Structure 1
Amino acid sequence: MPPHRHALLPFAVALAGVGFLSLMDAFMKDAALLIGAYTATLLRAFIGAALIAPIWLARGARMPSRSVWRLHWIRGVVSAFMALTFFFALTRLPLAEAIALSFIAPLIALFLARVLLGEVISRAAIGASGLGFAGTLVIVGGRIGQGQFDSCMALGVASLFLSAVLYAYNFIVIRQQAQVAGPLEIATFHSGIGGLVLLTLAPFLWTPPSADALAPLLAAGALTVAGSLSIAWAYARAEASALVPTEYSGFVWASIFGWLFFREALTWPTLAGTALIVAGCWLAARPARTSAIPAV
């Protein structure tokens, strides 16, 4: 294979992985609208575990140590509620807007890394956060200006922001996990523990699933595994800085799938707000050129 084609392959696989996960979001929105966000999220977790665990076992799985178990449990708890709040938000917001607002998670992660890992916050990160915040105001303000921001949508935005905070903390845990466990092990315990955590809420939130929700749930489970493995494969073969831009293709995918699945129109405030958020993420990802701001 020519060198340039070899270099482009991880980028293409990462792009496909983001597409798989965006399509998964569309199927999950469909399922959540049919049977509720909780039931759909719980079943997706167990379907994902059932699909990935046999692959992990077939590749010579070993049970993790106590310290690794702790990381798996922490991420399982965090990701369980991260997914539940995100998929609930999808039932209240257009798919593209939800994806756009979720892009603030990397910016939140910068500040969590300072608090939890002692990393230094650069001046660029402060400016990036300002752009990200401005972007969210543009998106939400566009809805208010159109008279479409009711209590139902406000609940969706609040749920989305909570999911973004949990996703940001999820970044921190993933960074720790990746140093002590492989992608298949991480994916297996991520889905399995997440499902067990959500199962504790079944007496309060469970609703019997309808037959027409089975197909989108199975599709969502398979796409979750395909997307996660594709991204893990790509990031193992190329630098993260080269692949980060593929994450923002999720907005394009979401816009396409939102229209195809739900006939959701794309608005100019959403486009403008997304541009500001992505610009903030790009600014934060650049190598620091100015002195860092020490924590007080």
Structure 2
Amino acid sequence: MPRSPAFVFAAAALGIAIFSSMDAVVKGLVLAIGVYDTMLWRTVAGIGLTGAIYLPRRRGWPSRSTMRVHLIRGTVGTVMAITFFWGLARVPMAQAIALSFIAPLLVLFLSVALLKETISRRAIIASLAAFAGVIVIMAGQAATSPSPDRFAGIVAILCSAVCYAYNIVLMRQQALVAGPSEVAFFQSVIVGLLLLVAAPLLAHVPDARHAGPIVLAAVLGTLSLLILAWAYARGEASYLAPTEYTAFIWASLWGWVMFHESVAPYTLAGAMMIIAGCLIAVRRRSGMEVEAAL
């Protein structure tokens, strides 16, 4: 049955919430075993999970053009994840997510250039309203001079944000030519193969006590991939991009609960502006046509 734009938007927001929860689990792993081993073993677990979902139901292998999209997104996703998680270990979660919010703004322009979508006036207002919240947050954080290590983390996260903007557009392209389980499986496989290139030099077998968090990170990552692939098959990238801003709320929560990272008043003020931007976006084109659910 057809799904309303608001339902698709809510699904994308749920996918972001789950993905943000995975970020918290991964940050703990990166601090314990390093970024490479975290990425490698989480991806290996993810291949097992997504393979169990996709392989028994597949109707044939992807075409060459579809595989090309899988390869491009997998490569971009690898660079995006490594730079983000490396930076995440060096800055508070809320700050890392705030920095990454340049991505949805870039998506507005990339979706026009690559997907031939149109940017509605409401979508621009929504993203600018949410980005104003990010400015409030960053202005407050600028009062504290970062250490050299934190500055390096900030640069890494900004690089990741540029990759993530492209990744959001690729997510839309990928979702239009492949089902959610195929997207999740090939994303895991391609990232895993790229990481394995450095395994002889960098890989270590983690202690058994890290097995639970690694599997949990893989489960959360797989679930978020499936939900986001479903949503991006039914909504334009420029429409769903503002859901990325909700990640800040979850990052603030998990940063406080798991890593004792305080949330300042200006952070809360910025979060309210972010929510306002998303509410503007969800009302966009209530009559927009969406594809039927699978």
Q: Where on the TM-score scale, by shorter chain, does this alignment land: which range?
A: 0.7 to 0.9
Aligned residue number for residue 223 of structure 1: 220
Bigger drift between 85-94 and 196-205 goes to 196-205
Contact 1:132-1:278 within 8 A present in 2 as well: yes
Task: For 2:60 and 2:5, locate their aligned partners in 1 and report how far apart those are by CA, in whole Å.
Answer: 33
Is the partner of 1:38 in helix, strand or coil? Answer: helix
Task: For 2:230 and 2:119, locate their aligned partners in 1 and report how far apart those are by CA, in whole Å.
Answer: 30
Aligned residue number for residue 199 of structure 1: 196
Mapped pair 1:86 → 2:84: yes
Contact 1:128-1:281 within 8 A present in 2 as well: yes
Q: CA deviation at 1:232?
A: 4.3
Aligned residue number for residue 57 of structure 2: 59
Q: CA deviation at 1:230?
A: 3.7
Bigger drift between 65-74 and 208-217 goes to 208-217
The partner residue of 2:107 within 106, 109, 133 is 109
- 1:33-72 aligned within 5 A: 33-72=31-70
Q: Provide closer, same or farther for how the CA distance between residues 234 and 135 of structure 1 changes in structure 2, counting only shifts above 3 A.
A: closer
Contact 2:97-2:251 within 8 A present in 1 as well: yes
Q: CA deviation at 1:107?
A: 0.6
Q: Provide closer, same or farther for how the CA distance between residues 190 and 85 of structure 1 changes in structure 2, counting only shifts above 3 A.
A: same
Q: CA deviation at 1:82?
A: 0.8
Contact 1:15-1:246 within 8 A present in 2 as well: yes
- AA aligned opposite 1:160: I
Mapped pair 1:252 → 2:256: no
Aligned residue number for residue 141 of structure 2: 143
Is the partner of 1:163 in helix, strand or coil? Answer: helix
Q: Provide closer, same or farther for how the CA distance between residues 117 and 252 of structure 1 changes in structure 2, counting only shifts above 3 A.
A: closer
Contact 1:107-1:132 within 8 A present in 2 as well: no
Contact 1:104-1:277 within 8 A present in 2 as well: no
Contact 2:47-2:188 within 8 A present in 1 as well: yes
Task: For 1:275 and 1:17, locate their aligned partners in 2 and report how far apart those are by CA, in whole Å.
Answer: 20
Is the partner of 1:179 in helix, strand or coil? Answer: helix
Q: Deviations over 1:79-122 (max 9, x none)?
A: 01111111112101112222232232111112223444455667
Task: For 2:76 and 2:51, locate their aligned partners in 1 and report how far apart those are by CA, in whole Å.
Answer: 20
Q: Identity of counterpart residues, as a percentage?
A: 48
Task: For 1:126 and 1:246, locate their aligned partners in 2 and report how far apart those are by CA, in whole Å.
Answer: 14
Q: Which consecutive unaligned segments of at least 5 residues does structure 2 have?
A: 286-294
- 1:1-296 aligned within 5 A: 16-117=14-115, 135-147=133-145, 149-233=146-230, 247-275=244-272
Q: Provide closer, same or farther for how the CA distance between residues 126 and 212 of structure 1 changes in structure 2, counting only shifts above 3 A.
A: same
Task: For 1:171 and 1:8, locate their aligned partners in 2 and report how far apart those are by CA, in whole Å.
Answer: 19
Q: Deviations over 1:35-79 (max 9, x none)?
A: 111211122122111101111112234211111111110011000
Is the partner of 1:209 in helix, strand or coil? Answer: coil
Q: Provide closer, same or farther for how the CA distance between residues 234 and 286 of structure 1 changes in structure 2, counting only shifts above 3 A.
A: closer
Q: Provide closer, same or farther for how the CA distance between residues 131 and 157 of structure 1 changes in structure 2, counting only shifts above 3 A.
A: farther
Q: Provide closer, same or farther for how the CA distance between residues 108 and 16 of structure 1 changes in structure 2, counting only shifts above 3 A.
A: closer
Q: Which consecutive unaligned segments of at least 5 residues does structure 1 have?
A: 1-5, 289-296
Q: Provide closer, same or farther for how the CA distance between residues 167 and 8 of structure 1 changes in structure 2, counting only shifts above 3 A.
A: closer
- AA aligned opposite 2:183: I
Q: CA deviation at 1:217?
A: 0.9
Q: Provide closer, same or farther for how the CA distance between residues 100 and 61 of structure 1 changes in structure 2, counting only shifts above 3 A.
A: farther
Q: CA deviation at 1:192?
A: 0.7
Q: Provide closer, same or farther for how the CA distance between residues 221 and 61 of structure 1 changes in structure 2, counting only shifts above 3 A.
A: farther
Task: For 1:175 and 1:242, locate their aligned partners in 2 and report how far apart those are by CA, in whole Å.
Answer: 11
Task: For 1:249 and 1:125, locate their aligned partners in 2 and report how far apart those are by CA, in whole Å.
Answer: 16
RMSD: 3.7
Count of equivalent residues: 284
